[in-house]
Structure 1
Amino acid sequence: MKFEFINKNEYLRRIQEFKELFMYCFNKEVSKEFLIWRYIKNPLDDLLINVALDNNKIVANYSVSPYTIYIDGKLEKAALSMTTMTHPDYRGKGLFPKLATDLYKRMEGDNYIAVTGFPNNNSHSIFVEKLNWNNIYEIPTMKLDLSRINKSNSPISISIINDSNFSLDYSKLINNKKNKIKVYKDLNYLKWRFKDNPANKYANYIILENNYVVSSIITKSFNKSESDIVEVNSLDDFSTKRLLEYIIDIEKGNGKKYINMWCHLNSSTHVIAEKIGFVNTEPISYFGVRYIKGNVSNLSNYNNWDIQMGDSDVY
């Protein structure tokens, strides 16, 4: 058995092995385009993948996807915990904890401060018990039953545009930090995460003011009857409310029955969503952190975070 951090050339050479291992582990396919988008085309250049090899064949892998985190008024290096895969014939040998521990050690040398993630029910206990993860929160899904909502009667006094190509000026929203811990989303990140994503098609509804985007809500279709709001970012509550009402009208017109979103309990957006009719329901998502370097214990306090569906690899 051999353990190896692989580079981008090696990853591309072995991409079929990753696809096959994914099928063995999850009984479904993952596309080559998605893997290249997530790991090769990430705007941040680091490739953080550790593999276990037996007879030069990948039998287990743990990967994280780098991102920039805004914390304590600074931008720091962090990463999102991604897919953990161990071939069924090699389970029970402790490969995943070793791969993760070694990867975290390497990241410490590269000045990463933390790994965050949303472990599922199968992996959550391993993350906490064997990898020293800290629970941050169990995030409920807020759901709106559109059958209980009448069409908005709000006058259309502002122009709403679908800028799915992110071609306008987002500088005011990008720099709207609000003293919260959050994934830092500059224009390169937004285009990569939402415009170039090969797995999902997103709509980005925005309000312009003096040629600046002052409010943005990003949505995607979940299935024939549901849509997800994956990002809400506004300079003021009026714009948030107006955009939400507009999107509700759009989704009702598209025949959708429900809209889902994540929304922090203590945020003004939660108050707006609750008044509209959103309620907490399932699924509930684990949200956790593994400290890598430095004193960043405030990461464990959910009240410090501005976290949204789009920060997860699932949505």
Structure 2
Amino acid sequence: MTIGPILVTGGSGQVAQALQTLAPGRDMNVVVVGRPDFDFDDAETLRAVLASRPWAYVVNAAAYTAVDAAEADEAGAERANRDGPGLLAELCALSGTPFIHISTDYVFDGSKGAPYQETDPTNPTGAYGRTKRDGEARVLAAGGKSIILRTAWVYADTGKNFVKTMLAAGAKLPKLRVVADQKGSPTAAADLAAAILAIIQVIETRGWELEFGGIYHATGAGETTWHGLAVATFAEAQRHHGPSPEVEPIATADWPTPAQRPADSRLDNTKLFQTFGIQLPDWRASLARTVDRLLGPAG
């Protein structure tokens, strides 16, 4: 029997598109919504979409993700990352609908020196991280069947992301300068989407259990730096005779941005495995598949 309907917010975003692509193969019915029909700047659109039919699950993959722009538009980021998800969680709590909300590694300041666990104190360094942290609090305060998935460094063959930016820049320039002192775990949107659908399958099989609720970390296995991810991207591109620029490692201080990024935002994914039996693949294997989709069959 088909599972659904599953409401997915985020329109043309990477995770929403990945969910829409993967769901049919798992016998799940996903309905993706985005602006203008669903807009965090217009609370009535949220109420209308939630009331349009009985939803089996709601997945919030919509967010204000322009990290630097958020520094000058924190109010806009608050509407999308705090107020909107909070209202969604409240509406889902009223109807008893399980709600899965995507958050970020940027709720941490990156000073721990080891992968963060869900119980570690948050301390965001910028407006984006603050609004996402506050969104988590609103979701949990709603008191419903809510699961929060913190992820990081998301990339795909769709949308705007670091991997696509590197390939485009590398096709034009012989040398690129990439930050090498920020550490994290790249996460393929397809892998995160598969994890979300696997969580839904567990809930379908076992029913909702109190222990399911709360915060989880969900990133690709392994770790690297932005420079390491760039180098790996071009190594994969070589299999397709793609771009092969020189990639110079630089310090964060050499590439100033309006928002301060966490220096080490690795996340510990143990809880996700212990609770749901889910572990995302190693980022390197997923990167290879993504580059294959972007550049076509290897020559």
TM-score normalised by the chain length of structure 2: 0.30
Higher helix share: 2
Larger radius of gyration: 1
